[in-house]
Structure 1
Amino acid sequence: MTTEMPYAEVIGDPIAQSKSPLIHKFWLDRLDIEADYRACHVTLDALPGYIESRRDDPAWRGCNVTIPHKIAMLDLVADPGGVRDKIGAMNTVVRQDDGSLMGTNTDAAGFLAPIADYDWSGKHAVVIGAGGAARAVLFALKQAGIAETTILARNGLKASGLLMQSSMKGGVLPMDARLPGADLLINASPLGMMGQPALEVDLDPLPTDCLVYDLVYAPLETGLLKAAKKRDLAVIDGLDMLIGQAALAFELFFGATPPMEDDDELRKRLTA
């Protein structure tokens, strides 16, 4: 596959819900960069072949990686930054001029950006999910100074391994467990996403100053955020992380800093 115009992609299964093309095309247009950004449906079985097909395409600048490929990607591309050991998931692949592919993770920094001004030292966080997004979240929480993390997951063994890898104090509970009182609740699972089962969780145990952060952005106002607002809890929706991680990837793909001063207009388009 060859094309003259430089381009990058987002890959996943499913992929129709992705807002990444809208974000990157918005920035490309604002900066008058002649390039493209696409969504590409790639199944897990087809992932190795997809990666190989892009190595020889000099117009391909790289890809963002979403569900369910963030862990599988670790075995397919170079890892110069030690993402495997630090986070255990990749969400961005960049093609070098010689055709080699480098993987990294922009999710952690994107997740942390909207909560970076809070003082999290000594606080307790609850994370729902134990997949690729949760791995980036735990890495970021450790950097932020969170003292204890409780993971709610279907697979307790997988969640325990994730917690151990993060070197954080905490514990693991089943998905239907009663929430512990916490300072921060994060949904890092696909539950509540368009086309996925709803996230069923009782927020009553949370204190009034708990912050609820849902990484799902389609729909933007998830059932979790609606329930949190009914309790007058502070909330952060998935667009903040999505835009934050996309900005870092955009620089890697296209060598330019996104015009973040236009964030308000970008957000309006994403929520139209």
Structure 2
Amino acid sequence: MACDLRAAVIGSPIGHSKSPVLHAAAYRFIGVDCDYSAIDVPESALTGFITDVRSTPGWRGLSVTMPLKPGIARLADGVSELAAVLGVANTVVVDHAGGGIRLQAYNTDVTGISHALAAAGVDGPARGVILGGGGTAAAAVAGLAGLGARSVSVVVRRPGAAADLLRIGSALGLDVSLQPWDRAGERVRSADVVVSTLPPRAADGLGRELATDARFRTQATLLDVAYDPWPSVLADAWERAGGTIVPGLDMLLHQAVEQVRLFFPEVAQDRAAVLGVMCDAVGATRR
């Protein structure tokens, strides 16, 4: 018999996503019968896909990956206060209350980043650095603000394209500066915490630069959201230099726990226990 409830992760490409495994494990644990799948939705097809969701019974929620995070925030009926500030969302709750359908957007990437870093011991970093200026970088600004960072440098290849991060920092009470990519090595060497929001292998050049610098030593923490392959070239160089590395899988796990809570608020959930079964499902270390 087909399952009456459904949820999915959407984006393009989407075949690499571990979200179906994580959500399936969580649903079994909390006793929810819900089908969760991965659906390739290119940016040009997002509006049509959301129209279909509105007309199809049984939808509970969507996990949203790039390049759809800005678009989904615009198409939702309501947006959480934080997601509105960021202008990007990665989670949509389909609410059937009152006989209609309402799509409410959230950004659980912020929770994923802050919880993953906190679990690694990051607390009140003085100098944060973010590599990349896209939607995940916006969440990283908010995540570092939540951890008490005093200032954050965002290192990008086109600073003008990331100017909205200055507005986000100001809204969150955080001093954000934009730096050109040729200063990436200088910035990460002096950081307390670094969050790389770049796609897989995009930071390999920086990683090789650090790996060949015999003088480079650090006690800072690096979260690299690109978890496949792992360790990345950057993460390997960072760990060899004495730093702490946090895989992007940890971020994915923590944000997925929050998504499950939002999709099924009527079901009692022990956050630590749900995180544990998700870790077991993908062979991740419990933190």
Fold conserved between structures, TM > 0.5: yes
2:186 partner amino acid: L
Aligned to 1:215: 225
| Letter in structure 2 aligned against 1:209 | Q
Deviations, residues 104-129 of structure 1 (Å, cap 9, x unaligned): 11110111012236464361011001
In the alignment, which residue of structure 1 is the partner of 2:236?
A: 226
Change (3 A) 1:187 1:119: closer
Q: 1:142 to 1:90 in 2, by over 3 A?
A: same
Q: Which amino acid aligns with 2:112?
A: G
Q: 1:235 aligns with which of 218, 241, 245?
A: 245
2:193 matched to 1:184?
yes
Structure 1 position 133, deviation (Å): 0.7
Work out the number of aligned pairs and report it: 266
**1:78–1:199: structure 2 CA closer, same or farther, 3 Å change rule?**
farther
Mind listing any 5+ residue stretches in structure 2 that lack a counterpart? none
Counterpart pick for 1:148 among 127, 146, 151: 151
Q: 1: distance between equivalents of 2:216 and 2:85?
A: 30
Alignment of 1:35-184 (within 5 A): 35-97=34-96, 98-116=100-118, 118=121, 120-121=123-124, 123-167=126-170, 168-177=174-183, 178-180=185-187, 181-184=190-193
Amino acid at match of 1:94: V
Q: Kindly report which structure 2 residues correspond to 1:228-267, keeping only aligned pairs within 5 A, or say none.
A: 228-255=238-265, 256=267, 257=269, 260-261=272-273, 263=275, 266-267=278-279
Q: Match of 2:205, SS?
A: coil
In 2, the alpha carbon distance for the partners of 1:206 and 1:140 equals 27
Q: CA RMSD in A?
A: 2.3
**Alpha-carbon distance change, 6 to 258 in structure 1, aligned in 2, over 3 angstroms:** farther
- Return 8-17 or 255-264, whichever deviates more: 255-264
Q: Deviation at 1:175?
A: 2.5
Structure 2: how far apart are the matches of 1:173 and 1:199?
19
Deviation sequence 1:11-45 (CA, Å, 0-9, x none): 01110110000000011122332111110000000
More displaced, 42-51 or 254-263?
254-263
| Runs of at least 5 residues in structure 1 that lack an aligned partner in the other structure | none
Q: Secondary structure at the match of 2:249?
A: helix
- TM-score, normalised relative to structure 2: 0.84
With normalisation by structure 1, the TM-score equals 0.89
Q: Which moved more, 1:127-136 or 1:198-207?
A: 198-207
More helix as a share of residues: 2
Equivalent position SS for 2:222: strand
Q: Which residue of 1 aligns with 2:11?
A: 12
- Structure 2 distance, partners of 1:55, 1:240, is 32
The residue identity in structure 2 corresponding to 1:182 is A
> In 2, are the aligned partners of 1:247 and 1:258 still within 8 Å (CA)?
no
Q: Distance in 1 between matches of 2:125 and 2:199?
A: 28
Whether contact under 8 Å (1:70, 1:91) holds in the other structure is yes
Distance 1:159 1:235, change over 3 A: same
What SS does the aligned partner of 1:212 have?
strand
Q: Distance in 2 between matches of 1:189 and 1:160?
A: 17
